[in-house]
Amino acid sequence: MFKSPGWRAGVIALAFAASASMMGVAQAQTPTKLVSAQPAPNSNVSSPQAILLKFSEQISKPLSSITLTDARANTVATMQMPAPDAQSLSLMPNQTLAPGQYTISWTAVGPDGHKETGTYHFTVK
């Protein structure tokens, strides 16, 4: 079988390209993480005027959401607010929150379409 002098270089280049491609796929699947929240998880606060969540990367706002529920798992009425940047979601309760524990549930969809979800609690004193 005849092999050209550059066949090894071609095989090495092909292996390198496949490896780089796989690294790109791994990076594209990096989870979108919650990096900060107001009110903070497990905090004791006065009734918040707004809820602000910031994520580790830009999110698809039409596909991402926040839900606020009370201690009985009833959804609390809220209004979506403009967020300060492409990595954040914000909402405002429609009324002053009564004392008690609340749960924030969130869904964040990253630019690659990868969806992450999470929940945390805070208490209104």
Q: What value, to the nearest 5°, has the Cα angle with vertex 124 and ends 119 and 125?
A: 150
Per-residue confidence (pLDDT) for residue 111, from 0 to 100: 87
Per-residue confidence (pLDDT) for residue 23, from 0 to 100: 46
* Count: domains in the chain: 2
Instruction: Tell whether 53 and 83 lie within a shared domain.
Output: yes
Instruction: Tell whether 47 and 19 lie within a shared domain.
Output: no
Instruction: Tell whether 12 and 62 lie within a shared domain.
Output: no
Per-residue confidence (pLDDT) for residue 5, from 0 to 100: 57
Q: Which helix (H) or strand (E) holds 66?
A: strand 65-69
10-residue mean pLDDT series, the chain (125 residues): 54 48 52 96 98 97 97 97 97 98 98 95 98
Note down the domain range covering 2.
1-30
Instruction: Tell whether 69 and 21 lie within a shared domain.
Output: no
Instruction: Tell whether 9 and 58 lie within a shared domain.
Output: no
Where residue 85 sits, what CATH number does that domain have?
2.60.40.1220
